[in-house]
Amino acid sequence: MANITTFEVGYCTHIGCMALKGAGFRVCKFPARAYLIKAGDKCWLWDTGYATWFEHYTRSGIFQLYRKITPVYFDPRESLAAQLREQGYARRDIQGVILSHFHADHVAGLRDFAESNFICSGEGWQKTRDLRGLAALRQAFIPGLVPESFEDSVQFFESFTRVALPAELTPFARGYELPGSQGQVILVPLPGHAAGHTGAFVQTDDGWVLLASDAAWSPVSYQMLRGPSRIANIVIDNSYAFYQTLEQLNQLWRGGKCEIRLCHEGDL
């Protein structure tokens, strides 16, 4: 079965009620997590977290607002590339980098893996790739973080084999099998938070795990069906789809057969 290693790659802070209604005005820490997925003899990265590139591309211009609205705390020694080296992984050991979506806190380290293969939603990339200026900022997208070679080495998961999911993952019925994962990694759209927002069901020795990315920022959201502040809708791609996805996570959680992991679950 597959194995998941979790990395914390910097964090940002914001008041709790923005991420969860009723959480109050306490400033909370939201870790940026990335994952290493191992299935058989192959490894993939799931997102990258922050990197020094984030500071570089938010130093001037309109993207300065990003770091002011959500202050970022990052030590270069915490970069995903550095942590992988510490654990003995070389870049040739990584089959590819899977992107849950294109918000900067998920793709800031892409340039550290510029020679890698990339996997993402084709629909998400088409809706994001040409955003610039204020339009990009509203979608938390910083164009400079994406390597120039990205489109030469990206695969869109919509082209992968579509497979039925086991009944224990209801209400999710179908997904896209990650090539080379021996059926142990299934990518699934989790729409709402961002264009092309994607999750992954991973079959481990302890059962199924859903890497749910930013489908919620706290387990309370899907357990109690309590979303973020309405103000957060400014940066949510589709609020209606967001709450539909939240209801699906609620059903999955109530089924008790799958662990749900959120990227930014912190101290709310």
118: helix, strand or coil: strand
Predicted local distance difference test score (pLDDT) of residue 133: 97
The CATH number covering residue 199 comes to 3.60.15.10
* In a domain? residue 268: no
Residue 145 to residues 55, 65, 85, 150, 253, Cα–Cα distance (Å): 10, 16, 21, 10, 34
* In a domain? residue 190: yes
Predicted local distance difference test score (pLDDT) of residue 193: 97
Torsions phi, psi for 40 (to 5 deg): 65, -130
Torsion angle in degrees (nearest 10) through CA of 81, 86, 92, 96: -50
Range of the domain at 166: 3-261
Predicted local distance difference test score (pLDDT) of residue 91: 84
Query: What is the number of structural domains in the chain?
Result: 1
Predicted local distance difference test score (pLDDT) of residue 17: 86
Could you tell me the sign of the dihedral formed by the alpha carbons of 140, 223, 186, 95, in that order?
Answer: positive
* Residue 86: exposure state from Cβ atoms within 10 A (0-12, 13-18, ≥19): exposed
Predicted local distance difference test score (pLDDT) of residue 231: 79
* In a domain? residue 266: no
* In a domain? residue 224: yes
What's the order of all strands across the beta sheet hosting 3-15? 72-73, 3-15, 27-39, 42-46, 96-98, 118-120, 154-156
* In a domain? residue 42: yes
pLDDT in tens, the chain (268 residues): 999 999 999 999 999 888 899 889 899 999 999 999 999 999 999 999 999 999 999 999 999 999 999 999 999 999 999 999 999 999 889 999 999 999 999 999 999 999 999 999 999 999 999 999 999 999 999 999 999 999 999 999 999 999 999 999 999 999 999 999 999 999 999 999 999 999 999 999 999 999 999 999 999 999 999 989 887 777 799 999 999 999 999 999 999 999 999 999 977 7
* In a domain? residue 267: no
